[in-house]
Amino acid sequence: MLALKQGSVPDVIANKLDHLLILTSGTEQYLITCTNKKYKFLLTTTLTISAIEISRKTGIPLKLAGKVNAMGKEYFEKEIEPYLDNSNIEYVGELNDVEKREFLKNSMGVLFPSTWDEPFGLVIIEAMACGVPVIGFPVGAVPEIIRHGENGFIAKDVNEMCSYTKQLSNIDAQTCHQYVVNNFSVERMANEYEAVFNKILNTKL
């Protein structure tokens, strides 16, 4: 986010997604794997009770992915671990990029039940690059990334998230992938930065 001077409206430039990730995750073959739904599960990288609640209400298996650091260890043991005895809910730990792509492309959808004003949710476009739709709350940058009914759904609460899981199969994988290619490439970000810098150079402060 760049502003020419105090009080001016800033230029907002969205993040990019590594071009290699887009190519390896979004080829036609991978999209076929995704639409074939080899594994029927939801994936979340946000370790929240909301995701677990959605899984329990819908009966859809849930994979929890992410690192549990020292600060979050007590919360994880108290709030998350008790639910892991359920065969439908599995904690898979921290994933590297290759592992993350495997889980993303095989999932039926990604839950993003964050209530924080997220400046940019990278996992959202990582999922879409794999042809996988995302369901999130209307906070932070989520409404700017998710196009409701096209590449995912925006839900006002957990109950709406549950309802939208039934519509995930209506989302076209190629549409999700192409949205990322068109809007979050390295070339797009570089061009936007160049335009902003030229604007600054040509502006009298």
Domain total in the chain: 1
* In a domain? residue 201: no
* In a domain? residue 116: yes
Residue 66 CB neighbours (<10 A):
17
The residue segments making up the domain with residue 68 are 20-146+154-188
Between 64 and 137, residue with greater pLDDT: 137
User: In CATH, what number is assigned to the domain containing residue 132?
Assistant: 3.40.50.2000
Q: Nearest CA to 105 among 199, 184, 21?
A: 21
For the segment 36-59, what is each residue's pLDDT rounded down to a tens digit? 333 455 566 555 788 889 988 998
pLDDT band, very low/low/confident/very high, at 25 (cuts 50, 70, 90):
very low
* In a domain? residue 40: yes
* In a domain? residue 12: no
* In a domain? residue 162: yes
pTM over 0.85: no
Best-predicted range by mean pLDDT (61-70, 93-102, 128-137): 128-137
* In a domain? residue 92: yes
* In a domain? residue 76: yes
Which CA distances in Å does 101 have to 157, 162, 203? 27, 24, 43
* In a domain? residue 160: yes
**What integer best gives the mean pLDDT of the chain?**
75
Checking if the pLDDT of 185 tops 80, the result is no
Checking if the pLDDT of 6 tops 70, the result is no
